[in-house]
Structures are given as structure tokens and as C-alpha cells.
Chain A
Amino acid sequence: MSLFDKFGTLAADRTALLSTGMDPFGAPLEEVYSATEAKIGGRRVILAGTNNYLGLTRAPECLKAAHDAIDREGTGTTGSRMANGSFAGHRALEREIAAFYECRSAIVFTTGYQANLGMISGLARQGDVLMIDGDSHASIYDGCKLSGADVIRFRHNDAEDLDRRLQRLGDKAPSALVIVEGIYSMLGDRAPLREIVEVKRKHGCMLLVDEAHSMGVLGAKGRGLVEEAGVMGQVDFLVGTFSKSLGSVGGYCASNHPELEFIRYTSRPYVFTASPSPSVIASTRAALALLRDGTELRTRLWERAGELHRGLLDLGYQLGAGISPVVAALVDTREQAIGLWRGLFEHGVYVNLILPPAAPGGKSLVRCSVSAAHTREQIQKILAAFADLREIAAAPALKSHG
């Protein structure tokens, strides 16, 4: 009996993955040429799985802001905001996020994962009720666990199911916190937010929306699903990340509730971690300005997303959702997904391999994320690779047991 016994199955799975070449879950990026190209495992590839939706990782404004911040304030803050204090940039970014969402205030976290972890565990405690979509991201599940609150799942994107479950809570319903996502990261589908807001209003409870994959992507000003659905003022907590459309790292929550300030004291993932580095804050602020005025970037992103989506449908691929910057090509088995991922890589296309239980319903898939920085030619190359690999995806389901 050893601590390591539990790794037995994992070790076998990993050996199987490695035996065919590179570990799809640990790709080595030897050189990064641009927002859409890198050298991985000695091969020059198109990056089509990095969530770099607006392609801002190389924006000159962001690079300059980061350089200046390093020169001015150094490489790191060496501690938490509570202990070491808040840099001017931390506070400025919080004001800018709040203004972006037309909210009273905002709070910045060191990573997107911690934003969910910190908000959920900061808001709820034992005896409270968290009502989460069944397909929620791991950071939401982990935040729920850390909170110690009662966690109830409702059926994915099913507002009626949410309504029924809130009804069951009786007197407790008004004190519940409902949690959904703007765009779900694995399949690229969106929450039926207007219906969910209706249910939330009916029961008088609160609503947190995680816009990690929809900020900068949805809405005229890039404010996410809340803007697209026209419910900006009706969501209690808007959570998101800096590590996707904003091209850096970190997370945030914006809210009109003055009580947001108390999160700075009750949230362990906020209190007990180092605050974001000055260069990270600086590039995020520069990227936020570009995102706000980024109508052209968004137009290009959706054009490319549409091209990839239609192209894959024409090739006969089964996709996870309608047109979306997240494009999931579903297959029947693990083996097909691994084969497709590897084939794409050998064709010079890097995407994400998703195996059970990471995707809902035990699905296996390869996940592409489209960027505004992708050229039409790159999308065509990606499609050409998928075209060559149709046989793998269409292989008569050699279903593994189970």
C-alpha cells in the first residue's frame, strides 16, 4: 500500500499516449513565432487550441505596456494584496473592469481559476446553497467544494430544470447562488441566459455568470453573453479571466453589490496568494482597451469561426455546437480522438485533445479554438488537415468497452 498506488491506471494510460510519440497533454512549445504559430516537438504548427480569441498576445500596445511596467515596478509583487499592498495598476485595472461592465466595482484575482474559486468560496459557506449547471468548469466545482456549501446541480442549459430545483428548496431558494457560464469551454455552446435570469428573478436568488470564454467574443462591446442577451444589469456577479481574449493571466469579478469588497477578506484564494505581477496587470489593461474598441477583431474572429465551422460540417464532422470560437469535433471513441489529434499535429495543426471525463456525456473530441489572428489561409490549412483525416473520424465505431 503506497501513496502512489492510485497512479496505476494513470500510468498505463500515459504510457499508451506516449508510445505513439508526444504527450498530447504536455506539448513542448520550443518557439512561439506569433499568436497563431509555434514550433512544437520540432514541427512548425498552426496554433488552433490556445484560446487566444482576439490574438492580442503580440499586440504592440500590450508588449510596450508590459515592458514599461517591468522597468518601472519590477518583475513581481512578492506577496498578497493584503500583506504587501495594492500597486496602482491593480486598483486601476479594477476600476477599468468595473467601468467596462458599468458596474459599481470589481476585484482582480491572480488566475482565472482562482476567480471562481475565490468568488464562490468567498460568497457561500456551510448551510448556503449553490445551484450549478451540471457541465460547469472544474474551477466552479472546486470553488463549491472549498465553500462547504450545499451544492445542487441542474441539467445543462435547462432553465426549467433549474426552476424546478429552486422550487424544491422552498424558503431557502432566495438565498441560493446560481452559477452558469457564458460559453461552455468544451463544446462551445452558450447558456440560455435570458431564461435563466427569468428563473433567478422569480425565485429572488443571485446569479453568477462566468464569461471566461465569452468575454471579448460575444456582445457589441465584447462584454460577453450578458451583453449579447441584454441582461447586463440583472446578473449579480460577472466573473472572467485575463488569460484568453486578453492574452495574459488572471481573473476578475465585477458586481453592483457593495458587499463585493468583503470578498477581499473572506476569500482564501484572494488573501493567501501573491497578487498579479506589474507587467501582467499592464498588458491586461492595454488589452482591455483594445478589446473594448475591438469590433473589427470580433468581426474577424466570427468570420474565421464560421469558416471553420462550415468547412468541418461540409467534411461530415459532427460538431459540439453552432458557430462559436470553440469548435469541438466529436468522435465515438477515445482511440479515434487520439488518432485525430495526432494526425492533425502531423499535418501541422495543434488543437486540444479532450478525453472522458473532461467533456460532458463521456464524449471524446478534438477541440479547436479560433483566433481573430488566424488568416483565411490558416483556416483553409486546418480544414485540409481535417479533410485528410476524415477516415479516422468516420471509422466505424471500434467502440472500447464501457
Chain B
Amino acid sequence: MLSPDRLSSGSETAMNSGQGGAYEEVLRRLHPHLHRLSGGRITVTEEMELVAQLGLDSIKVLDLIMEIEDEFDVSIPMNVLADVRTVRDLARAIDTVASGTP
């Protein structure tokens, strides 16, 4: 089991790109979902690819988006997934949608 601290540790890219608390918060809340969907067997890191490494198929990723929408009470159009490959991509996409104008 992975602690939120470990998930965010070493996220230099996120820090350097000026993403602060909101991004970290997204990552923290995203973690239990990813942990469960990936079968809880592996340590989830920001660099991991959702499909190739976490073993989520396309439908699972879509179902994850649905859960995240409820968790954050935001609308996340399927289209944002076009640019999402890694956990970090996903967290950033959610952060953008959650903080910006839809």
C-alpha cells in the first residue's frame, strides 16, 4: 500500500511546472481509485501509464473518470483522455478541469 506522500514525492515536474497544492490534492484523492482499479498489487507512481502499466482497459479508464467526476463534483469530458497516458497526465487534466472554466 502506498502513502500519498510517496505518490507525490519526487514529482519534480509537477513542482517545477508551478502546480501547487491543488495538483497534489488531486493526486492524493486519485490514488485510492487507481490502487483499487489496478488490483492493489502494484505501487502506483505518477509516471505510470494507465493502460500499459496499471493494466486499466479503456472502459476502466472511462469508469474511473465517472468516479472522479463524483469525487470532485466536476464534469470531465471523455475528450480530455485523448492526451492522457500517465497518472500525472490524468491528475493534471483533472486539476485543469476542476480549477478552470469547463
Q: Which residues of A are at the interface with B, using a C-beta cutoff of 8 A?
A: 129, 134, 144, 148, 150-155, 164-165, 168-169, 172, 356-357, 360, 362, 402
Measured in the bound complex, the distance between the Cα atoms of B73 and A107 in whole Å is: 38
- Residues in A whose Cβ lies below 8 Å from that of B39: 402
Measured in the bound complex, the distance between the Cα atoms of B66 and A152 in whole Å is: 8
Interface size for B (C-beta < 8 A) is 19
Q: Which residues of B are at the interface with A, using a C-beta cutoff of 8 A?
A: 39, 55, 57-59, 62-63, 65-66, 69-70, 73-79, 102
Instruction: Report which of B66, B75, B79 forms a contact with A134, defined as CB distance below 8 A.
Output: B66
Given A165-B69, A168-B69, A172-B102, is A152 in contact with B78 using a C-beta cutoff of 8 Å? Answer: yes
Which residue among A129, A148, A153, A154 has the maximum number of chain B CB atoms within 10 Å of its CB? A153
Indicate if the CB atoms of A165 and B59 lie closer than 8 Å.
no
Indicate if the CB atoms of A169 and B77 lie closer than 8 Å.
no
- Residues in A whose Cβ lies below 8 Å from that of B76: 152
Indicate if the CB atoms of A362 and B59 lie closer than 8 Å.
yes
Indicate if the CB atoms of B66 and A402 lie closer than 8 Å.
no
- Residues in A whose Cβ lies below 8 Å from that of B65: 153
Instruction: Report which of B58, B63, B79 forms a contact with A150, defined as CB distance below 8 A.
Output: B79
Given A153-B66, A155-B66, A172-B102, is A357 in contact with B59 using a C-beta cutoff of 8 Å? Answer: yes
Measured in the bound complex, the distance between the Cα atoms of B69 and A154 in whole Å is: 10
Indicate if the CB atoms of B62 and A152 lie closer than 8 Å.
no
Measured in the bound complex, the distance between the Cα atoms of B51 and A357 in whole Å is: 14
- Chain B nearest Cβ from A184, distance in angstroms: 15
Instruction: Report which of A144, A152, A155, A360 forms a contact with B75, defined as CB distance below 8 A.
Output: A152
Indicate if the CB atoms of A165 and B75 lie closer than 8 Å.
yes
